[in-house]
Chain A
């Protein structure tokens, strides 16, 4: 906001007078009142512009009263208004006048729509910081009190969010009042208000004096944690984290733990879920000693809770919990007190539980070290890799790298390879996709021979998958493999198989050949591209299916930069011209595109431009294949550029 307000505050009054008369408030207000919501919304979003035009004085005396009175608008307009007003202090004359913004925001904080109210509260919190302590007590605190005693729940709900911002800077007497108001909202008749109070309890506790926390916040916390509605009780669990952070170990034990223990065994699964969900925060807040005595047993219970939701939430926290245990005795503790429960969860009846566990279980290997991982965790990983639920398998696969660090890829691949091969043919395409994405890493670690023997056929099989995303990923995968294993390998193992597909009866397979060529040509270099790939592409220009033909055009455009002048001139150009006369509109279009790109290319090769850093042709911009190159790269023979381009993108 400083950017907008800065100059205006200094010069507003002086600089404003000259123009103000030009913008009668009526005209601006007319805009804000326009019948069309969209126009009204546009005007509100430019409210700061209007205020700037009016100058600070008239903004205060004319614009704000108008805004306060027209609170009955569409929620969308009100939302924009609430947001704008949070940044308005400079436009009304700086901090001394910040209180002028309170009336419209007060009304906005009482409307029905939650989004608007929340935004108004946010803006009020922002503005509260700009008030002087005197103004805060004279204007802001009374507003909070009015909201807190409003007759509809909306205003009382909004009030809950404002206590913590005005408390620290209030005088002792006022502080007492503020606490009093907060107390009464915590036992409000309406559950909505109690929920709002419970959700702000932690935040409020943080700004209170320690004595008041113990004497006032703790009883409120205890009450809310045993509210008749579970939606209130579960919010108290969140507050528990903040409150425990403020108290000494003894006080936590005496004042917080009884309630927390009760929450961990609440009859409503939502409350227990919350405990599981906030477990790491709770663990940090209560410290290691209480964790060992109280939280670990509670956690064990949550891991075998009767509701799957709770178990899943707890399973998510396994790694963090273990990480945060004190180093001393950590391994034994995990092995004896946590691992037995994890073993149970691996064969849980619910897939969400298993999948939650699978997403973190791999992280334990770094905590437990190589030996434990091989002996205890690896069997669990293997079991999960064979799980019937694809999500579980997927989560294991996508986290393999953390285990990799601990036990090494050899060990990993030998024990996991059969499972991986099986997953490569998984019925869920997302699982297959995850495996494909993992392939370059595996290939790099395993070496060419091992790869050719075990995995190569998989990579080729993906090219004819029935899901496009898999074929696409398989194409990219080939490119990455070629980058790893080199062109010779490509020429011997990959390229022939790809090119054979050009004669496939299925046009989608034929197109895959083209896509592969697009991806591989750069990595394979000029020779292979010209001698092996280009003839196939050219041959396919006579395909019966238009889709294949226009992809031929696109491919020719793509591989153009890799080919030399002769090939372009004598082989590519005639075929493109032929395609340019095609009966199909799309083929024609893409052929034209390619023709102009190739023409550019030919011109450039004929007249090398020494100082150009980039192909300057407008058509070439569209061709993402032509990345920005280093100076001079363009001028030399194509071979140089091709070799360079083997570097990863």
Chain B
């Protein structure tokens, strides 16, 4: 339907005489926007507690831990832990209120106790503690309510059992952080399977849960030396699946944050395993659609690596150039930001290795019709360090970007961009006036050469296509009529 709106000045426009009658003046917007009132129906909550049993024994409050003599403390503790292993249905918010309250109080007390009382954590309570934690936190996460859940746009689906779950996580954290905590005892229960299930929970849509998990996994990584390699390996499996198979995992940012601090602690020289993780996992992670959700953490990890080992720079930059966004301008801005972070720490010897492909890409960004991309790229020239690198290598960098800058300075639609480019060109002129003049002079010639090359290319392909057709039609044609006219042009193209 035509979307043309009636002229705003309808009443003044003379109606054609002779053609009557004329309908009364119009309201411009004919219809009420009823359809705009769009309440998204929330789907009823689905349960994450598959193992919930409805007919369970009733919980009765136990005496307080601080009220019993030390001799009975551990017996009561383990009864309390058992009580906290009973699960409740939080979808039905009025069900079993008394039981829920008993468990909440018990959990609160446990949190208090493990955090402040010394001498509670003796060997026999470890299995009870881990069992209680496992029963509560390990569960198959429910399907997302919104299959196209966008972490930036949509409200997350919060965990209904959080009133209990939070206390369990808090207890777990204090347990790990307790001065009495002995990893050598706990490692019998906190094993690889435990860690694997812990990692799966990072997919939780509830940011509060992921926040706890992040701290907990970090402590586990710190305390259980034997699990470190395993944790790193499983993390990379999660990332790889996320990159190549199933672009959905809520906890990528949190996992990267932990990894950032892990990378920070890597010993030098870096092991091959770690370098491989950078090149084959972290770099491809840039190609994911939802990059914006975890880009800050990812960029931090990358820069951490480069600060550890500058020789990785070339690999990283070439990797980023390979995955450079082709259509998503928002991601392009992020890439430019990360590139600047990398350039901030780059060693001049590394810069030399990648300057040409890098600045060709930067030039392409400057010519982007999206002004934010162009602007972000041009901000590179505001960076003192980058500017000094450019100056030191102006014989390579200038020719790589000059043509594009020169052209864009004449064609870009956005005035801000044009003036920024003028500034850059001015900087170039001051940097090396002679080179600048040469480039300006040869610009036109190059343009012509480009056109010439394009023409030659077209002719080459035409010739090939004719040849192919003849070959398909029969053997004779191709033999009798060799395509001589192609020869000179072909060699001409080959030389340049």
Which residues of A have CB within 8 Å of B43? 308, 350-352
In the docked arrangement, what's the CA distance between A102 and B142, Å? 45
Closest Cβ neighbor of B281 among chain A residues: A112
Q: Is A26 an interface residue (CB 8 A)?
A: yes
Q: How far apart sit A15 and B10, CA to CA, in the bound complex (Å)? A: 74
Do residues B479 and A192 form an inter-chain contact, with CB atoms below 8 A?
Answer: no
A263 to chain B, nearest CB (A): 14
Q: Is A547 an interface residue (CB 8 A)?
A: yes
Q: Are B19 and A15 interface neighbours, CB within 8 A?
A: no
Across-interface contacts of A508 in B (CB, < 8 A): 30-31
Interface flag for A211 (CB, 8 Å) = no
Looking across the interface, which residue of chain B has its beta carbon closest to that of A543? B23
Is A505 a contact partner of B2 (Cβ separation < 8 A)?
no
Task: Determine the chain A residues whose CB is within 8 A of the CB of B222 once the complex forms.
Answer: none
Q: What 1/0 flags go to A440-469 for Cβ under 8 Å of B? A: 000000000000000000000000001110
Contact B240 A153 (CB under 8 A): yes
A466 with B41, Cβ < 8 A, contacts A31-B457, A543-B22, A584-B7 known:
no
Cβ of A485 under 8 Å from chain B: no
Render A69-103 as a binary contact track against B, CB cut-off 8 A, 1 for contact.
00000100000000000000000000000000000
Q: Is the C-beta of A171 less than 8 angstroms from some C-beta in chain B?
A: no
1/0 per residue, CB under 8 A from B, across A410-430: the answer is 000000000000000001010
Asked if A39 and B457 sit within 8 Å, CB to CB, the answer is: yes
Asked if B19 contacts A74 (CB within 8 A), the reply is no
Across the interface, name the chain B residue whose C-beta is closest to A42: B461
Asked whether B494 lies within 8 Å of A26 as measured between CB atoms, the reply is yes
Q: Which residue of chain B has the shortest Cβ distance to A582 in the bound complex?
A: B16
Q: Are B479 and A15 in contact (CB under 8 A)?
A: yes
- B6→A307 contact, CB < 8 A: no
Proximity bits, A324-365, B CB within 8 Å = 1, else 0: 000000000000000000000000011110000000000000
Pick the residue among A18, A538, A583 that contacts B479 (CB under 8 A): A18
Asked if B461 and A389 make an inter-chain contact with CB atoms under 8 angstroms apart, the answer reads: no
A341-B21 Cα distance, complex, nearest whole Å: 65
CA distance A3 to B472 in the complex (A): 8
B457 touches A389 (CB 8 A): no
The segment out of B108-116, B120-128, B462-470 that lies at the interface is: B462-470
Among the stretches A47-55, A290-298, A517-525, A637-645, the one at the interface with B is A47-55
A117: nearest residue on chain B (CB-CB)?
B244
Cβ-based interface call for A578 (8 A): yes
CB neighbours of B46 from chain A (8 A): 306-309, 350
**Is A172 part of the contact surface with B, judged by Cβ < 8 Å?**
no
Residue of A nearest to B14 (CB): A583
What is the minimal beta-carbon distance from A503 to any residue of chain B, in angstroms? Answer: 6
B490 to A24, Cβ gap below 8 A?
A: yes
A191, A230, A539: which contacts B237 (Cβ < 8 A)? A191
Q: Are A466 and B35 in contact (CB under 8 A)?
A: yes
Given known pairs A506-B27, A507-B6, A544-B15, the reply for A190 and B237 (CB within 8 Å) is: yes
| CA distance in complex: A510, B23 (Å) | 10
Q: Are A542 and B32 in contact (CB under 8 A)?
A: no
Q: Which residues of chain A are within 8 angstroms of B464 by Cβ–Cβ distance?
A: 23, 46, 49-50, 52-53
| C-alpha gap A230/B203 in the complex (Å) | 14
Query: Using Cβ atoms and an 8 Å threshold, which residues of chain B touch A472?
Result: 1
Chain B CB within 10 A, most for which of A231, A270, A506: A506
Report the minimal beta-carbon distance from B278 to chain A, rounded to whole angstroms: 14
- Quick check: is B487 within 8 A (CB to CB) of the other chain? yes
On whether the beta carbons of A49 and B465 are closer than 8 Å, the reply is yes
Residues in B with CB closer than 8 Å to A129 are none
If over half of A's interface residues share one DSSP class (helix, strand or loop), that class is named, otherwise mixed; here it is: helix
Q: Give B1-17 as 1s and 0s: 1 = Cβ < 8 Å from A's Cβ atoms.
A: 11011110010010110
* Contact B6 A74, beta carbon cutoff 8 Å: no
Nearest neighbor of A502 in chain B, beta-carbon distance = B23
Asked if B460 is an interface residue, CB under 8 A from chain A, the answer is yes
Interface flag for A545 (CB, 8 Å): yes
Q: Is the C-beta of B455 less than 8 angstroms from some C-beta in chain A? A: no
B241 touches A231 (CB 8 A): yes
Task: Determine if A112 and B284 form an interchain contact, defined as CB atoms under 8 angstroms apart.
Answer: yes
Whether the Cβ atoms of A15 and B494 lie closer than 8 Å is no
Across the interface, do B494 and A542 meet the contact criterion of CB distance under 8 Å?
no
Q: Are B24 and A505 in contact (CB under 8 A)?
A: yes
Q: A11 in the interface, Cβ–Cβ < 8 Å?
A: yes
**A546 B6 Cβ-Cβ under 8 A:** yes
CB-CB under 8 A for A542 and B22, given A31-B460, A429-B35, A584-B7? yes
Tell me the residues in window 571-630 of chain A with beta carbons closer than 8 Å to chain B beta carbons. Answer: 575, 578, 582-584, 586
Please measure, in the bound complex, the distance between the C-alpha atom of A18 and the C-alpha atom of B50, giving whole angstroms.
75
Interchain nearest-CB distance for A507 vs B (Å): 5
Known: A22-B486, A52-B467, A52-B468. A466 touches B34 (CB 8 A): yes
Asked if B457 contacts A468 (CB within 8 A), the reply is no
Residues facing A in B203-244 (CB within 8 A) are 237, 240-241, 244
**Bound complex: CA A583 to CA B9 (Å):** 13
Q: Does A509 contact B (CB under 8 A)?
A: yes
Q: Is the CB of A267 within 8 A of B140?
A: yes
Closest B residue by C-beta to A575: B19
Shortest CB–CB separation between residue A575 and chain B, in angstroms? 7
- Once the chains bind, are A542 and B19 in contact (CB under 8 Å)? yes
The answer to whether the Cβ of B474 comes within 8 Å of any Cβ in the partner chain is: yes
Q: Is A195 positioned at the interface, with any CB of B under 8 Å from its CB?
A: yes
The answer to whether A14 has its CB under 8 Å from any CB of chain B is yes
Given contacts A49-B468, A546-B6, 11 further A-B contacts (CB under 8 A): A7-B471, A19-B483, A31-B457, A231-B246, A267-B51, A270-B140, A429-B35, A505-B24, A506-B27, A543-B22, A551-B2
Per CB-CB distance, the 5 closest pairs between chain A and chain B, nearest first, are: A542-B19, A466-B31, A11-B475, A545-B6, A15-B475
Chosen A-B contacts, 7 in total, with CB atoms closer than 8 Å, are A18-B479, A22-B487, A24-B494, A270-B140, A545-B10, A550-B2, A584-B7
